[in-house]
Every structure is written in structure tokens, then in C-alpha cells.
Structure 1
Amino acid sequence: MAARCDRSCVVKQPIAKHPGPSNWSKAVSDAEKIVGYPTSFMSLRCLLSDEFSNVAMHVKKLVGTQHPLLNTARGFVYDSRNNFQMRGLVVLLLSKAAGPSHTSSDALAQDMVSGIYPSQRNLAEITELIHTAFLVHCGVVNLKEWTASDGLLKDMEFGNKMAVLSGDFLLANACTGLAQLNNTKVVELISSAIGDLVQGIYYENSNNTEENNLTTKVDTTAWEEQTFLSHGALLAKSCQAAMELAQHDKKSQRLAYKYGKHLSLGHKLNSDLQPFVKSNVGEQVSFSFSAAPVVFHRHIVGPERWQQQLQQAKTMRNQLDYSKLLAAVKSEKGLSLAVNLCCYHGNRALEAIQAFPSSEARSALENIASAITKF
């Protein structure tokens, strides 16, 4: 396992000590100006339709309840830190960085706006619609684990119906837009990405049922494979599809795919690392047991030692003291392994983009890839 980490120990740029989110936000903000598009790639044709207006009216009925669908909806509007719509931006930047292919016709090139084909802009919207649909679907509450403290049962049931309905609506619009691109290879790529998402979320749900029942056989390779399905496949295949729409060759498509893949994995690792690299002594912390540092830590120490650490972190009220658990994770190599792996994927994304012509768009993609190696 340690040998796998060594591949990433040489980092092109030193890890900065200033907060990662500000680096990421600045890189994304600067990139938006280049493509002339804000990060909201949601199709206005979809969001302003009568059908979606009806869905929105029903979702309003959840105000005052504790259903997670409301927090998801608020996040799209207010929470710019997480850059929910980063995927569409990367698709547009790659499209602009690659430019028109040598085999494309002059008539097709005339349709370009700011160096991007209309079909590539449509693809960026489709990518965001698919991602948003899955975020909404993930807001479905497991009523088997429902308790009275979670809210009224009827509110949870109604919220679940709205999460399924609105998620299906967004996904249906994405599939309609996908068909209108009239490119069978792109349809195949994005359809397979949807299948990967479903499979990845299934893995996550089956592995994250309870803190004591997490699988003990997840090493870095297995983590990367599972995380790619749920967090990387959509972006990687959308980047490849953007090259296909511009009739670029197989090499360009492969490099675009690699950039999307490594950027996604690096971004997920950076996000998982934030509670561990930003926390101070005595500060209240919380983190997911599926976060990469915890998964790698459990694999290193083994199930018996992990159970001991869980028991030692339990309070008198049988609740977990996350600060003790965080200290335990920091004391082993799981944290450094996650940091090295994050830098590795950031560097691989940087390498993939070097084959594209030097431009403002390529520089923006480099800045985004560099930002995920900073904490």
C-alpha cells in the first residue's frame, strides 16, 4: 500500500498552507469569465418550464420540515463554496482549450461562440442536469431508519415523493437533450456514465450503513475504483464527449477523459481531507466514515484496532467524540496517504492538459487542477 503512495510524493508545486476552498473558488471564478458562463449551467428551458414550476410549488410545502431535499435546493442557490456546477465549467473550458479540430468543416466552425460549439454548451448543461438529478435523488430519506426526532412521517414521505419526481424530471430532460445532440457515441458515453453513477451510489450506500459495519477490505485501489464511479465517471466521460462533438481524434479524447478522471478524484480527496487538515485542537469537528483518510486508516490498522479506537472515542452517553477519532486517524499513515494521493491525481490532471495548445482556457484548467493540491 505504501508503495502505491510513493508515486505521488513528487509534487510540482508545494502544498500551500492557506485555505484550500479560497484557492478553488478563485480558480473557478476566473475560469467562468473565460467561457462567458456562470457556474449555473442548469438549462433555462428546463427550469422555466410549466412542469418544473409545478414541482417547485410542491417543494415549497416542505418549508418548516427537516427533509434534506430543502437543504439540497438551498445549496444550489446559496452554497457557492462547493461549486455544485463545476462539471459544466470544466467541459466548456476543455472545449475552448481544444478548439476546432482539423477535420471539422468550415460551416461547423462558424457556429462557434467564444471558441465553443453550441453542441458542447448543450453537453455542459446536460452534464449538470444529470449531476443535479442524482443529488436530488440522494435526498430520499430511508424511512426504515426514521425516528420521531427526524420530523413528521407524512412530511418525510411527501419529501421523498418530491425528491423522486423532481430528480426524474431533471434526468428526463437531460436524456432528451442528449438525444438531440444526434451523436450515438456521445449518447453511449453519457448513458454509461449514468450507469456508473447508479453503481457507485449503490456501493456507497451498501458500505456506509453504520460506522461499525463498514467494509474492511477497501484499500487505495478499491477506493479509487468505487469513487470514480460515483464522483468521476460523469465528468471524465463528458470531457471525452466534448472532444467527440468537435470531431477531435482519439488521443485528444483520451487526454480529456484523463483530465476529468484525475480532477474528479483529486477534488474528492481534497474535500475529504478538509476536516483533517483544517481542524484545530479543541475545535468541534465532524466527518464521514467514508472519507478517504478514515477508509485508508481503517485498512492500515485493521478491524480490531479500529473497533478499539471507536470504543475509546465513545462518550459516557455512548456518542462519538470526533476529536478523539480525528487524533487517532492523524496518528497513523492514512492521512498522509490521502494527501499524497490527492497530489498525485492533481499532477496527473496537469500532465493530461499539457498536450493542448497554450491558451487562457488551458491556464484556467491548470489552475483548477493545481487548486486541488492545496489545503
Structure 2
Amino acid sequence: MWGALARRGGRGGWRGLAAGRPPAAAAPWSQVVSEAEKIVGYPTSFMSLRCLLSDELSNIAMQVRKLVGTKHPLLDTARGFVCDSRNNLQMRGLVVLLISKAAGPSTAELSFQHNMVSGIYSSQRSLAEITELIHTAFLVHRGIVNIGELKSCDGPLKDMQFGNKMAVLSGDFLLANACTSLAQLQNTKVVELISSAIGDLVQGIYYENSKLSEENCLTDDIGISTWKEQVFLSHSALLAKSCQAAMELAKHNAEIQDMAFQYGKHMSMSHKLHSDLQPFVKGSSSDTVVFSLNSAPAVLHQEFLGREAWIKQIREAQGKGSIMDYKKLQEAIKAGKGVTSAIDQCRFHGNRALAALESFPPSEARSALANIVYAATRFS
């Protein structure tokens, strides 16, 4: 149904991923983000900078320097905020601002356009910052390591325990700031939406970690439908509900709110699938690429192959000393149907996101939202 959406004309119009392929001229991710940031008025990659530069977090940052020389994940998380923000989806706030501008004011809010800057209400900008803070808080919390699984090469036990404390403290601080700002919006429906998104995140992360904590459990025994349910909770719910909340702040009707929700959901799903596919679609490299055995291509590979045969391939790739030969496993997955099926799923969700944009009038903001989809479904 969504494989060959018709072309739409006019300024700001969009094209579907016709015949299962994105436009040949789809721009790289960093370029798409840079152009979108110009539309909303300022770089949103650093929207949480005011909070990150507060005295409290500055003190925490000074303490985190003690982790240099260890392999604590909190260091990589911190580097990612500064150096890699445009190569990852550290841009939920940007999407919230773009969809706010694409929708514009509702009929009920036309008299309050003086509160808008660059076509976006101040409350919607606050919501975008709140979304970024919540996302950042959970990224920091994900950096907590299991002390029982540490090796001597990871760093001194005392330093790793200290890193965990910093991860908990930093994440809680960001989350508390987000919740305070959320209350200041004084909109009960928005508070309910974002609170439920936080609950979804907690539930999604619990699902991610619960199976992996079981002894000798390398991969989940799930199908792609269950994988999607879990990914929605841990990756898509926050953006989807933030997009819906942005429409609520502008008093848009239920239909527009639902379309904003659908765009956020399906765009982030396509981005997650695109991310999972990278180890399997990148150009040949002599380097060993480590990937999750619960990523979309692996889950689909297991679905086609069968659980027993998949476990057998994993065991064969482990070899002696329980060291995983990811290159061998990667080739096994690429030889099956998992990769091509994951690409199809990525473009399916991309088309669903583009279809949701039909409800918004043509504009630069809508074109930017479409370009984000094209970039997330672009494969070399």
C-alpha cells in the first residue's frame, strides 16, 4: 500500500519512497539537520546547553574527568553530546519545532500569533527543550554498568563505581529539570502525554535489559512485531508524544494531533531500522563490526531461519574461548533475508511518516520533515 506513494507537486511538496526506494538526491543526515535548524531559527543540537552549563552539572563534569583512562560508558555518552550530535538522532527537539512550524497556529489560536517567533510558540520551544532533556537523561542513565560483569581492563573498580554514581546523579538532575519545565507549561494534557512517554521509556529499557541479564542469553526469542513494540517504547514514544503535545499546545484538533503522533512514531522507527542496518550495508571494511544480536536484521534473520538454527549459527561463530566472530555472523545474516527485509521495513515506516505529512500545508518546515525521512531511508 505504501510502497509507491504518488508524487506531490507544489512548493514544499513531498515524494513517496516510490518502488521501495528513496529519492536519488536524498541528502546526507548532517546536511538535512543543518538546513532544518536554519528553518526553526537556531541550532537545536545544543538546546539543553543552558542546563548542561549550569553550576550543578559543571561540578559533575569536573568530577567525571576522574573517569578518563577507564572504559566507563559515561565518557562515550559525554563525547557524543559534543562531537557526534548530528550523526545520531540527538534532534528530537528539532523535529518538535519543525512540526510545530509546519502546523502553524490553529483557528482557535490565531489571535495569539504575537506569541510566536519564526512561526513557533514559546511554549512549543520549551517543549522541544524538555524533550531533549528527557532523552539526554535516559542516555546518561543507560551508561550505568553492571559491576559484576567488569573486567580488569575496564578500569579500577572504585572508578567504575564512581562513574555509576555520576551517571545516576547527572541523569536524575536532567530529568528533574525537564519535569519542572513541563509543569510550567500549565497544560494537563501535555503533562499527561510526556509523563506517559517517560513511563514508556522506562518500560522499554526494562525489556531491553531483562532478557540479557539471564545467564547464557545472547539473543531474544522474539519476532519483528514484538521487536517493534519494544522499540516503540524505548525509541519512538517520546518523539511521537512530544509531536502530539506540540499540536495540543497550539490547540490543534485531534486529527492533526494524531498525524503529528504518527509522523514522530514512524520517522523514529525508520531511523532505528536504518541505524540497525549500518553494520550490514556499509562498504567493505577490514575492521570487525560489532552489532547487537537483537538488532532488526538479526531478529528478521531468526524469524526466517528458525530459533534453533539461529542459535546454532551463534554458537559456531563463538568458537573457542567464547569470543564472538562477528564477521562470520555478519556474513551469515547477509546471506539470508534479514537485511533486505529490514530495508523494506525501514522504507515502509518512512512512507507512513510521509503519509502523515499530507495533513500539513506545504512549507519549508514540511519539506524539512520529509527530507529527514529521506535521509533515514537512504542506503549506499
Q: Report the counterpart of residue 86 of structure 1 in structure 2.
A: 91
Specify which of 125, 131, 156 is matched with residue 127 of structure 1.
131
Offset from partner CA, 1:6-33 (integer Å, 9 cap, x none): x66544265369899x622221111111
**How far apart, in 2, do the equivalents of 1:174 and 1:306 lie?**
42
* Residue in 1 that maps onto 2:18: 12
Q: How does 1:115-264 map to 2 (within 5 A)?
A: 115-209=119-213, 213-214=217-218, 216-264=220-268
Give the C-alpha shift of residue 49 in structure 1: 2.4
1:47 & 1:322 partners in 2: Cα distance?
37
- 1:124 partner amino acid: A
1:313 aligns with 2:313: no
CA distance in 2, matches of 1:118, 1:184: 17
Q: In 2 relative to 1, CA 324–174 (structure 1 residues): closer, same or farther, beyond 3 Å?
A: same
- What are the Cα deviations for residues 71-107 of structure 1, in whole angstroms up to 9, with x where unaligned? 100110011343342100000000000001101152x
Corresponding residue number in structure 1 for 2:9: none
Q: Is the 8 A contact 2:270 2:377 kept in 1?
A: yes
**1:211, 1:83 → 2: CA distance?**
32
Q: Quote the residue 2:78 is aligned against.
A: 73
Pick from 304, 307, 310: which aligns with 1:303? 307
* Contact in 1 for aligned 2:69/2:155 (Cα 8 Å): no
The two structures, once aligned, show a CA RMSD in angstroms of: 2.1
The secondary structure found in structure 1 opposite 2:318 is coil
Q: Which residues in structure 2 correspond to 1:273-288 (within 5 Å)?
A: 273-280=277-284, 283-288=287-292
Query: Unmatched 5+ residue regions in structure 1?
Result: 1-6
Q: Which amino acid aligns with 1:271?
A: S
Query: Using a 3 Å threshold, how does the CA distance of structure 1 residues 216 and 145 change in structure 2: closer, same or farther?
Result: closer
Instruction: State the alpha-carbon separation in 1 of the partners of residues 319 and 308 from structure 2.
Output: 19
Q: 1:274 to 1:44 in 2, by over 3 A?
A: closer
Task: Indicate conservation of the 8 Å contact 2:3/2:351, yes or no.
Answer: no
| TM-superposed deviation, 1:309 | 1.0
Encode CA deviations 1:259-282: one digit per residue, 9 max, x unaligned. 000001000000000111114275
Which residue is equivalent to 1:38?
A: 43
The answer as to whether partners of 1:137 and 1:164 remain within 8 angstroms in 2 is yes
Tell me whether 1:52 sits opposite 2:57 in the alignment: yes
Moved more, 262-271 or 334-343: 334-343
Q: Is the 8 A contact 1:217 1:299 kept in 2?
A: no
CA offset at residue 162 of structure 1?
0.4
State the TM-score, normalized to the length of structure 1: 0.92
Taking the aligned partners of 1:43 and 1:79, their CA distance within structure 2 comes to: 15
2:138 partner SS: helix
In structure 2, what is the Cα distance between the partners aligned to 1:221 and 1:47? 37
Percent identity of equivalent pairs:
64
2:34 paired residue number:
29
**Corresponding residue for 1:328?**
332
CA deviation string 1:255-309 (max 9, x = no partner): 0000000001000000000111114275532211121001111222122211221
Please give the per-residue CA displacement for 1:26-81, whole angstroms capped at 9, x wherever unaligned: 21111111111213243344233222222222122222222111110011001134
Provide structure 2 residue ranges, at least 5 long, that are not aligned to the other structure. 5-16
Contact 1:41 1:124 (8 Å CA) reproduced: no
The number of residue pairs the alignment matches comes to 367
Structure 1 position 134, deviation (Å): 0.2
* Residue of structure 1 in register with 2:106 after alignment: 101
CA contact (8 A) 1:216 1:303 kept: no
Pick aligned residue for 2:296 from 271, 286, 292 = 292
Q: Which amino acid aligns with 2:130?
A: I
> Is the 1:41–1:125 Cα contact (8 Å) retained in structure 2?
no
Alignment CA distance shift 1:43-1:330 (3 Å) = closer
Q: Structure 1 residues 55, 13: closer, same or farther in 2, change over 3 A? A: farther
Q: Secondary structure at the match of 1:340?
A: helix
Q: Distance in 2 between matches of 1:227 and 1:353?
A: 22
Is the 1:39–1:83 Cα contact (8 Å) retained in structure 2? no
